[in-house]
Structure 1
Amino acid sequence: MMQTARINSLCSRVTSGGTPSRKHRKYYADSNNGHLWVKSKELLDRAIDDTEERISDEGLQRSSAKYLPANTALMAMYGANVGQLGWLKCPATVNQAVCGMVVDGEIADPRYVFYALLYSRPALTAKAQGAAQQNLNQGLIKEFEIPTPPLKAQKQIAAILSAYDDLIENNLRRIKISEEMAQDLYREWFVKFRFPGHEQVRMVDSPLGKIPEGWEVMSVSEAVDLNPKLNIEKDKEKFFVPMSGLSTDSMVITEFKYRTGNNGAKFQNGDTLFARITPSTEHGKTGFVQCLTSDDEVAFGSTEYIVMRSKYLNPYAVYFLARELDLREHAIRSMTGASGRQRVQVGCFDNFFIATSAQDVLEKFEQAVAPNFRLIQKLWDKNRALSQTRDLLLPKLISGELDVSELDINIEETA
């Protein structure tokens, strides 16, 4: 029988944090300064080495935000993502919805504790309390017990599982860099007008201001096919993308399932999915479809998507146009509906205008960025396979079904 131990007995500190007052801008810092500040929505069951926001020294001092060391295990205590986990690759602060578990390295391995919590999460979240929404608290987490083999075995288990996660993290970094490179090129060519050969093209007046000679001013509705008509069989199981499958900062479709039905947005490879409902629109949820098995396949998803398809612009330019801040702000201003359920009106794209280049420039752009798009999908497919293998090993290792005592594993890095 595997021994167990309470979280509190394995940690030197278990604590939550806080949020500096939003009334004082000086409590927050820009992306190059201040302290990392982790919010519960940033807990994605993986390492954290950066955050959406940072807080200043004064913000830390004048709030309940807590500074936690590297290797701290984190868990979301409230709301829709209750039980989501993370671990700090570097020191950071956290808000009040995050429980930080500072593991005593003399007693337990920090990475092992993270994986043991991942394995035991269903049992812990089952203890969540609350009528409107299920919440955890520090008391429940402190008293919760996880399997605890000897320290050496913990380090071996952590080394095995972290090898998969390290590969996944490396691929995620490559995905981020590849998309940023392609997006920078889009902005350079189509926003700043510094496309190949621009030095020989004079700028002329237009309703948008100065644009390159030969370029046209079009509405988005003229340049992009919005919500194209597609038919799909109702009773057959098909690829389905829920709203949770779209990312706020990446083209990748991160979640999908197969299900019957035909109610929702229909799309194919090469289409861009633009979330049209609050708060998903404001958060920037957008995806590029390139994960279907063939270009003829028709998939469907949330009713709250606007499907954007190539018409005058090619698919790659359509995606980056959908990511442009000016367009998103215009779409947000068009929202109508009850508070909390407001939706972007497709008609708003009739009166948002862009400068469009000749097709030869668009073709050169496609040739330049298409390899980035293919690489991104290839890396994501690799990550999905790595995650599946890790998830198969996780319960077998934590439960003791797989014995690691005789394995020759380098555990120096997890010491």
Structure 2
Amino acid sequence: MKFRWETEFKETEIGKIPKDWEVKRIEDIGEVSGGTTPSTKRKEYWDGDIPWITPEDLAEYEYRYISKGKRNITKKAVEDISIKLYPPGTVLLTSRAPIGYVAIAKNYLATNQGFRNIIPKNSKIVSEYLYYLLKILKRPLESMAGGSTFPELSGSTLKKVLIPYPPPPEQSRIATVLSWFDDLIENKKKQNEILEKMAMAIFKSWFVDFEPFQDEEFVYNEELGREIPKGWEVRRFGDISEFYDHKRIPLSEIERQKKRGSYPYYGANGVIDYIDDYIFDGKYLLVAEDGTVTDARGFAVAEIVEGKFWANNHVHVIQGKNSVPTEFLYLVLKHTPIEPYVTGAVQPKLNQKNFAKILVLLPPQPILQSFHSLVEPLFQKIILNQKQIMTLRKVRDTLLPLLVFGKLRVEEI
């Protein structure tokens, strides 16, 4: 690869861009349109083989390309109400609740009305370049939204948005550089998914199906409503864990801007920012306290982290105590539906008091330690991958504005 810093710029409506670049409207480089929701009362419209994407499908989606969402629609729905099918390469942009989630269609699919989708015109725009450009334009697009109660970015507004426009070959080179980082990130995320499935399979075998303990005596436990190995205990989550929520300190965006640094700043759904200080140092279990507190299967939104970091007041910070490994607590949560412990209809919340009531089947210490010796190496690899992912994201996000606004030019790949 060959890069160079640009020195010759011109003033435009969107600021300085390289002299050989142009400024174009989004409508100049792509067709903008929205989606539709078929009637949920018509069963013949649902559970077909046509992917149908909603903003919720992108809420925790961290990949560039998307092939399906949680629901599918039928060919009859498409034909009856003229639902538009978007071809591969279409850039999907959420236009409300919230604005600014972006993905690229991997195959033909449909969306609901919460999107303004851009179909590239011929060879005028590279889908991946537009994807990265829109990611960095999230804030400006939010500011253009209309509506007081539920802000929405209209199609007519999006069409008029001005963007920096390098020649298509340079768009491809920019997208290739940024995609290199995302390829590595996505590969490491897939590794972690496999490693976590292995750890969960071992947990299920030992503590749900009791496969290694079939020859032992079992007794009926009324709290769990099932038989468990004799000598095992049923405890509350709060009895075997230490909450460090009292040490959390929320920082506003303005405060974080003044503290830019290298330590991750965690919120309910992962790393929000990087700052110049930390509160915690060690291995901890982080669990979302409010907002999106459950995953698609109804289990807690949680992750194991290790090292120096800061956490705000939207995420529980926990460690195992009394020789209970923190990894064991994580796997317990990934096998325990937590809806009964969540309060709040509009803003779901898993408060510490309810959280501490979760029932946990606790084996004798020798069994717990034997289990930990099996899964700890898996989690160590997961944590290593997580740290590498954070580094790759930081480098990518540093390069992103430099590349898409032409300050750093990619001359060769």
Secondary structure of 2:272's aligned partner: coil
Which one-letter code corresponds to 1:37 in the other structure? W
**Residue of structure 2 aligned with 1:68, choices 74, 86, 97:** 86
Q: Distance in 1 between matches of 2:242 and 2:40?
A: 38
- Give per-residue Cα distances to partners, 1:194-218, cap 9 Å, x unaligned: 2xx3243243333232222332233
Q: Distance in 2 between matches of 1:117 and 1:234?
A: 28
Q: Structure 1 residues 347, 166: closer, same or farther in 2, change over 3 A?
A: closer
Greater CA drift, 359-368 or 346-355: 346-355
Match of 2:144 in 1: 127
More strand by share: 2
Tell me how far 1:350 sits from its aligned partner. 6.8
Q: Structure 1 residues 106, 140: closer, same or farther in 2, change over 3 A?
A: same
Match of 1:381 in 2: 387
Instruction: Indicate yes or no: 2:368 matched with 1:358.
Output: no
Which one-letter code corresponds to 2:87 in the other structure? P
Q: Structure 1 residues 45, 371: closer, same or farther in 2, change over 3 A?
A: closer
Which one-letter code corresponds to 2:23 in the other structure? T
- CA RMSD across the alignment: 3.5
Match of 1:5 in 2: 24
Q: Distance in 2 between matches of 1:229 and 1:388?
A: 27
Instruction: Indicate yes or no: 2:340 matched with 1:340.
Output: no
Which one-letter code corresponds to 1:318 in the other structure? L
Q: Distance in 1 between matches of 2:128 and 2:250?
A: 45
Tell me how far 1:53 sits from its aligned partner. 0.5
Tell me how far 1:358 sits from its aligned partner. 1.7
- Kindly indicate whether the alpha-carbon contact (under 8 Å) linking 2:283 and 2:306 is maintained by their aligned counterparts in 1: no
Tell me how far 1:82 sits from its aligned partner. 1.1
Tell me how far 1:310 sits from its aligned partner. 3.5
Secondary structure of 1:125's aligned partner: helix
Match of 1:242 in 2: 267
Tell me how far 1:77 sits from its aligned partner. 0.7
Instruction: Indicate yes or no: 2:61 matched with 1:48.
Output: no
Match of 1:310 in 2: 321
Secondary structure of 2:271's aligned partner: coil
Secondary structure of 1:19's aligned partner: coil
- Kindly indicate whether the alpha-carbon contact (under 8 Å) linking 2:284 and 2:306 is maintained by their aligned counterparts in 1: no
- Kindly indicate whether the alpha-carbon contact (under 8 Å) linking 1:306 and 1:346 is maintained by their aligned counterparts in 2: no
Tell me how far 1:241 sits from its aligned partner. 2.6
Structure 2 gap segments, 5+ residues each:
1-18, 252-258
Tell me how far 1:373 sits from its aligned partner. 1.6
Instruction: Indicate yes or no: 2:172 matched with 1:155.
Output: yes
Q: Structure 1 residues 161, 202: closer, same or farther in 2, change over 3 A?
A: same
**Residue of structure 2 aligned with 1:274, choices 287, 299, 304:** 287
Q: Distance in 2 between matches of 1:314 and 1:242?
A: 23
- Kindly indicate whether the alpha-carbon contact (under 8 Å) linking 1:161 and 1:390 is maintained by their aligned counterparts in 2: yes
Secondary structure of 1:280's aligned partner: coil
Secondary structure of 2:409's aligned partner: coil
Match of 1:101 in 2: 118
Secondary structure of 2:123's aligned partner: coil
TM-score, structure 2 normalization: 0.78
- Kindly indicate whether the alpha-carbon contact (under 8 Å) linking 1:34 and 1:56 is maintained by their aligned counterparts in 2: yes
- Give per-residue Cα distances to partners, 1:227-273, cap 9 Å, x unaligned: 358668999x8975322xx2xxxxxx433554899xxxx87644333
**Residue of structure 2 aligned with 1:321, choices 316, 332, 350:** 332
- Give per-residue Cα distances to partners, 1:98-156, cap 9 Å, x unaligned: 12211134322221222233344444433222323432111111222222222222222
TM-score, structure 1 normalization: 0.78
Higher relative contact order (CA 8 A, sep 6+): 2
Q: Structure 1 residues 138, 364: closer, same or farther in 2, change over 3 A?
A: same
Q: Distance in 2 between matches of 1:322 and 1:365?
A: 16
**Residue of structure 2 aligned with 1:192, choices 191, 194, 209:** 209
Secondary structure of 1:200's aligned partner: coil
Instruction: Indicate yes or no: 2:23 matched with 1:17.
Output: no
Match of 2:162 in 1: 145
Match of 2:7 in 1: none
Instruction: Indicate yes or no: 2:380 matched with 1:369.
Output: no
- Give per-residue Cα distances to partners, 1:314-373, cap 9 Å, x unaligned: 2111112122243x13313xx3x6x52464454546765443212222112211221222
Q: Structure 1 residues 350, 106: closer, same or farther in 2, change over 3 A?
A: closer
Greater CA drift, 305-314 or 364-373: 305-314
Q: Distance in 2 between matches of 1:120 and 1:347?
A: 40
Which one-letter code corresponds to 1:106 in the other structure? S
Q: Distance in 1 between matches of 2:42 and 2:120?
A: 33
Matches within 5 A, 1:215-230: 215-222=232-239, 224-225=240-241, 227=243
Match of 2:14 in 1: none
Q: Distance in 1 between matches of 2:401 and 2:66?
A: 26
Aligned residues: 378
Tell me how far 1:177 sits from its aligned partner. 1.8
Q: Structure 1 residues 59, 357: closer, same or farther in 2, change over 3 A?
A: farther
- Kindly indicate whether the alpha-carbon contact (under 8 Å) linking 2:295 and 2:301 is maintained by their aligned counterparts in 1: no
